[in-house]
Chain A
Amino acid sequence: MSQASSLFKRNVLPNKWFQAACIAVLVLIIYFVTSDRSTPYDHFVRLSDAMLHDRLYLLDVPDWMEVARVGDKGFVMEPPAPVVFILPWVAIWGLGTNQAIISIIVGAAAIGLLWVALKQLGWSLRCRMAMTALVALGTNFWWVSATGSVWMFAHVSAVFFLMAALVETTGKNRPWLVGLLVGLAGLSRLPVFLTFPFFAYTVCRGMNDRGRIIRRLMILGSTLGVMGGLYLLYTYGEYGTLSLGYEKGDFVNGALFSKGLFSISYIPRQINAILFQGPTFSDNFPFFRPSSMGLGLFFTTPALLYMFRAHLKDKLILAALGGSALTLIPILTYGATGFSQFGYRFSLDILPFMILLAASGMNYRLNKFKVAIIVLCCCINLWGMLTYP
């Protein structure tokens, strides 16, 4: 018995995948307990069912459901990668599959992957624990995972694949697999395709052989190209034209999109949503309630202010900044700010990079103040979970 115990301590306990699984289970329990575990916006369940019936469109779509309507067909405008997680369950349970619960599971798994990636990056145990806790419970990833509606599940899926890409690029670093995972993240949330500068750096990190670097970059680029091409093919299959999908929705005719889907004139409203969108005040306890318009990034996760102290002489951090900056271009110029939401959900498209930047800003070290800030972030997000209208 004691031999088995020491074997467990020596071989199993230090195993990063075992640790990741334990963390994922813990996060899963927290997400599960704090979630409503249901969503009426289960587009991906319906899409999975359609795909299992050789269709790319939904039938008998309720009026309140946001889809692109062409005749009696309803097309899901969000990219299709999240279906990967749902399709097997729909094959078993059909339309009764609970998208919200799958969102919770995938969200928790993404946190496990983050743990592995941070370990592979060589961060200290305390730093890894703090940053994992920050992402899991101190960002709106908690609320987004626990909500699990079509828009939120797309984020969860994108974060999962980004974390998986981070694990691969900090581990075996096979460019085709990194490209595939980033591509799947992009096929969950289109702006995430633009995180590629970060991965272009990481797949060649520490290499001097120019030919090898070019070869690896070409593999990464072509994999991403194929994934992008697949998306265009998918939308061609849907609408018969090459399209992003979003421009087919009725909402683009609304006031928010008066200057089209993207315009630089939308930047101030995004800046307002990122920096200044505060909670609403209430006369009753707990006096502040999250606005369904969102909550500023630094109101939701004040620890991210450490990003401004990141060490840009570190090329990995510079690459994270580059990937984030490029990804932010379509986000900042998009007409909508993410209503309805807790926090600023579009920020999740660059979540792993924000964590790299914040950890760098903290010098990868913790003190009482930093721990207090992270605890504050967790409290704010717990408040969001409990009070979101």
Chain B
Amino acid sequence: MNQAITALKQKMISDRRWAHFAIPLLIVGIVFAIYYLSNSTPNDWYKHYVYQAQAFLDGRADLQGVPGYYQDLVNYNGKYFLASPPVPALVLLPAVAIWGTGTDEVRICMLMAAINVALIWILLGRMNVKGWKRSLLTILFGFGTVHWQVAITGTTWFFAEIVAVFFLLLCLIEYFGRKRAALIGLLLGLAALSRLPVVVGGIFFLAMLYKNGGIRSPLKFIIGLALPLAFYGYFNYARFGNPFQTGYEFHSYSSYFAADIDKYGMFSLNYIPKHLYTLLLMPPQYLSDFPFFKPSPEGMSILLTTPAVLYAVKARLSESANRWLLLSIAGILLPTILWFSTGWVQFGYRYSLDFMPFLMMLIVAGMGSRISKKMIVLIVMSVAVNLWGALWSVHLGW
């Protein structure tokens, strides 16, 4: 028996391929357990995508049986549709096929988010980040960004973020791996059909693929990207008779935004300051009693929720990849900051997840090769703030 165990150990040590699967699986297990324990009794009260998935399974595009209190629906020709793009619903299809509209979207969101953390581990490996730095950055992503709170909230808008991150990470993994341009385009398209602004991240891939492989690679990338976008056009046509009609202009937004939308519309330059304020400056709310501070439901500055992003500032812009990353982040942010909503109700600035994988790459670039005490302190601070945010979020019933 002992001999067999020793032989197995030696085989595992000599054949390190097991680590390619075992460590990511271990990460998924651990992260899922922590996410699960962070919010063991979720509200699960907004799961539009479950109803959309049920509609797909029934051969419909419209949503039926949706609870009366649901917002963000499109009432068109007497039917209810979902304005948000459909990929998160496609992801839920197997689960909804089994459990119907009783599907627990939050748990699936937690599971996908745990997979995201494993994906960032794989991505870092492909970026040649090794040892403790790889582990620390994985912890930073999983527990030191708003990814944690978004994962355990799991309602419609939060699930869309997690799915977008999932596909964007796959996209980057492929880019740092075999670089199949069409597949990268396809995966980016799927990310964009979870959160539309992510499509602008294509800037990075277009530029880098062109740099590495001439004009053919970007063309393949565009073809890959066109497939999901064409599907989205078809889906819109089937619903509204126009491939470019997403439905957003008809959707029943919360009364919380009514005054702004009446005044400026859904997209406006007037929304930029409040987005930038939320993203960069917004503090927590002060309480006169213990614990004295709570997260503002309007959001909180990324500098407070993830102080480790300061390392992104140190990334050398003389390197073209970093410049394109920065441009992609700015590009993804641009349509977001013109949008009427800053993400309320939320912990931190949840839209930052649209570009978080790119930002993580800049942080990697800015950190250098050595692990410093400051790096550890900033990561610990990031994790502490997000633990605080996650606990408050559950307590406040977000």
A-to-B contact residues, CB < 8 Å: 268-269, 271-272, 275-279, 281, 283, 287-288, 296, 299
A299 touching B281, Cβ below 8 Å: yes
Shortest beta-carbon distance from A287 to chain B in Å? 3
Most chain A C-beta atoms within 10 Å of own C-beta, residue among B270, B273, B284, B288: B273
B286, CB-defined interface residue at 8 Å: yes
A281 touching B288, Cβ below 8 Å: no
**Alpha-carbon distance A296/B283, docked complex (angstroms):** 10
B274, CB-defined interface residue at 8 Å: yes
**Alpha-carbon distance A351/B293, docked complex (angstroms):** 27
**B273 touches which of A271, A277, A288 (Cβ 8 Å):** A288
A268 touching B293, Cβ below 8 Å: yes
B21, CB-defined interface residue at 8 Å: no
- Residues on the A chain within 8 Å of B292, using CB: 268-269, 271-272
**Alpha-carbon distance A242/B288, docked complex (angstroms):** 32
Q: How large is the interface on B (under 10, 10 to 19, 20 to 34, 35 or more residues)?
A: 10 to 19
Closest 10 CB pairs of A and B: A276-B283, A287-B273, A268-B292, A272-B286, A278-B283, A278-B281, A281-B277, A281-B274, A276-B284, A278-B282
Given A278-B281, A279-B281: A268 in contact with B286 (beta carbons within 8 A):
yes
Shortest beta-carbon distance from B305 to chain A in Å? 13
B283 touching A277, Cβ below 8 Å: yes
**Alpha-carbon distance A276/B286, docked complex (angstroms):** 9
**Alpha-carbon distance A272/B292, docked complex (angstroms):** 9
A276 touching B273, Cβ below 8 Å: no
B286 touching A269, Cβ below 8 Å: yes
**Alpha-carbon distance A283/B286, docked complex (angstroms):** 23
- Residues on the B chain within 8 Å of A281, using CB: 273-274, 277
- Residues on the A chain within 8 Å of B270, using CB: 283
Contact with A along B274-317 (1 / 0, CB 8 A): 10010001111010100011000000000000000000000000
A-B contacts besides A275-B283, A276-B293, 20 pairs, CB < 8 Å = A268-B292, A268-B293, A269-B292, A272-B283, A276-B283, A276-B284, A276-B286, A277-B283, A278-B277, A279-B281, A281-B274, A281-B277, A283-B270, A287-B273, A287-B274, A287-B277, A288-B273, A288-B277, A296-B283, A299-B281
**Alpha-carbon distance A277/B270, docked complex (angstroms):** 23
**Alpha-carbon distance A12/B117, docked complex (angstroms):** 66
Nearest-CB residue, chain A, relative to B286: A272
Most chain B C-beta atoms within 10 Å of own C-beta, residue among A272, A275, A279, A299: A272
**Alpha-carbon distance A296/B293, docked complex (angstroms):** 15
Nearest-CB residue, chain A, relative to B281: A278
Nearest-CB residue, chain A, relative to B298: A281
Shortest beta-carbon distance from B171 to chain A in Å? 32
- Residues on the A chain within 8 Å of B284, using CB: 276
Interface CB pairs A-B, < 8 A, 18: A268-B286, A268-B292, A271-B292, A272-B283, A272-B293, A275-B283, A276-B286, A278-B277, A278-B283, A279-B281, A281-B273, A281-B277, A283-B270, A287-B273, A287-B274, A287-B277, A288-B273, A299-B281
Shortest beta-carbon distance from A61 to chain B in Å? 32
**Alpha-carbon distance A376/B64, docked complex (angstroms):** 54
Shortest beta-carbon distance from A282 to chain B in Å? 8
Contact with A along B7-32 (1 / 0, CB 8 A): 00000000000000000000000000
Shortest beta-carbon distance from B339 to chain A in Å? 16
**Alpha-carbon distance A68/B71, docked complex (angstroms):** 56
- Residues on the A chain within 8 Å of B282, using CB: 278
Nearest-CB residue, chain B, relative to A276: B283
- Residues on the A chain within 8 Å of B293, using CB: 268, 272, 276
Shortest beta-carbon distance from B352 to chain A in Å? 18
- Residues on the A chain within 8 Å of B281, using CB: 278-279, 299
Shortest beta-carbon distance from B71 to chain A in Å? 23
Shortest beta-carbon distance from A380 to chain B in Å? 11
**Alpha-carbon distance A296/B281, docked complex (angstroms):** 10
**Alpha-carbon distance A281/B292, docked complex (angstroms):** 23
A269 touching B288, Cβ below 8 Å: yes
- Residues on the B chain within 8 Å of A268, using CB: 286, 292-293
- Residues on the A chain within 8 Å of B277, using CB: 278-279, 281, 287-288
Nearest-CB residue, chain B, relative to A280: B277
Shortest beta-carbon distance from B123 to chain A in Å? 29
- Residues on the B chain within 8 Å of A279, using CB: 277, 281
Among residues 108 to 161 in chain B, which have CB atoms less than 8 Å away from a CB atom of chain A?
none
**Alpha-carbon distance A279/B277, docked complex (angstroms):** 9
**Alpha-carbon distance A18/B76, docked complex (angstroms):** 77
Shortest beta-carbon distance from B275 to chain A in Å? 11
- Residues on the A chain within 8 Å of B288, using CB: 269
**Alpha-carbon distance A287/B281, docked complex (angstroms):** 13
Shortest beta-carbon distance from B277 to chain A in Å? 6
- Residues on the B chain within 8 Å of A269, using CB: 286, 288, 292
- Residues on the A chain within 8 Å of B286, using CB: 268-269, 272, 276
- Residues on the B chain within 8 Å of A296, using CB: 283
Nearest-CB residue, chain B, relative to A267: B292
- Residues on the B chain within 8 Å of A272, using CB: 283, 286, 292-293
Contact with A along B45-71 (1 / 0, CB 8 A): 000000000000000000000000000
Shortest beta-carbon distance from A71 to chain B in Å? 35
Shortest beta-carbon distance from A379 to chain B in Å? 15
Contact with A along B230-245 (1 / 0, CB 8 A): 0000000000000000
**Alpha-carbon distance A283/B263, docked complex (angstroms):** 11
- Residues on the B chain within 8 Å of A283, using CB: 270
Most chain B C-beta atoms within 10 Å of own C-beta, residue among A278, A279, A296: A278
- Residues on the B chain within 8 Å of A276, using CB: 283-284, 286, 293
Nearest-CB residue, chain A, relative to B377: A308
Nearest-CB residue, chain A, relative to B314: A369
Shortest beta-carbon distance from B251 to chain A in Å? 23
Shortest beta-carbon distance from B344 to chain A in Å? 13
Nearest-CB residue, chain A, relative to B304: A276
Nearest-CB residue, chain B, relative to A286: B273
Shortest beta-carbon distance from A259 to chain B in Å? 11
**Alpha-carbon distance A263/B277, docked complex (angstroms):** 33
Shortest beta-carbon distance from B53 to chain A in Å? 38
Shortest beta-carbon distance from B338 to chain A in Å? 14
Shortest beta-carbon distance from A255 to chain B in Å? 9
**Alpha-carbon distance A275/B282, docked complex (angstroms):** 11
Shortest beta-carbon distance from B384 to chain A in Å? 15
Nearest-CB residue, chain B, relative to A275: B283
